[in-house]
Each structure stands twice: as C-alpha cells, then as structure tokens.
Amino acid sequence: MAPLALTQAQMDTVLQLARPIPVGLRQRYLELVASALAGREIGDGEVFRAARAAAKIVTWDLPKPGDAYEFEPRTDGASKLVYAPTNKGKPIDLAEEERVEEQRQALDRQRTIDRVRAAAGAQLRALRGLEG
C-alpha cells in the first residue's frame, strides 16, 4: 500500500481518535484508516470520518466495563437495607420515606417560587423607580 500524505492536523486527528483504542489493536486501526483513505482525495473531513469509522470497527467487540462480571440477582428476598434496623433500632418504613421525600420536594418547589417572586418584585420596583 502506498504511503499516505497527511498534514500534521490530519495526523493529529488520527492519533487523537486512536487514544482510547488498546495498544494491541492500534495497528489494525491504522490499517483500516489507510485502506479507507486509499485512492481518495484526502481532506480533513475525510480523514476524520475514516478514523472514526475505523475506531468503531476496531472497538466494537471489546468487552465493556460491566461485561466482565455476571450479575446475579438476589433470590433471598428483599433488600437488607429496607428490612434491617437502622442505628436507632427502628426498621425503615417505605411509606414514611416516600412522605418525607414528597415534603422535601414540595419545600424545594416553594423555595424556587419564593426566589422567582422576590426577583420579579425587585425588577418591578426598579421599573417603577425609572418611571417616577
């Protein structure tokens, strides 16, 4: 295969897209980029598209971080957190937790409304001051 004449910016693009690729697969990546660009007019966009496509092809079948472990769902019943006693010796009450969360969200909404009203009032006072 004939060598490619890439500008420094184009070479930087190819190398930037090669960073997440494991070292052992980079040779394959470079071969795919070169074969995609062979016989074409080489512009910055073409180099980027070829490098991105080659990176996808090379890394497509790599194991993902979560794939290395088999997830086994618990079969022994509910979560210990829900039924285990807390530090105070009381079990966690889901209905109470939900009620507290709803109260917290309502308080957050009210605080947001109060801030908006205060800002609107300040703007109104400033506008009235300009008129008078």
Task: Name the one residue in this structure whose structure tokens are 């180099």.
Answer: 47
Residue 46: how many CB atoms within 10 A of its CB?
14
Q: Which amino acid is at 96?
A: E
pLDDT in tens, 89-110: 666 677 888 898 999 999 999 9
Tokens at residue 47, please? 């180099």
Q: Answer yes or no: pTM beyond 0.75.
A: no
pLDDT in tens, 8-58: 999 999 999 999 888 888 999 998 898 888 887 888 888 999 999 999 888
Average pLDDT estimate for 74-88: 53
Q: Mind spelling out the 3-state secondary structure of 56-74?
A: HHHHCCCCCHHHHCCCCCC
Tokens at residue 110, please? 């009210």
In this structure, the chain runs to a length of 132
- Among 77, 81, 103, smallest CA distance to 92 is for 81
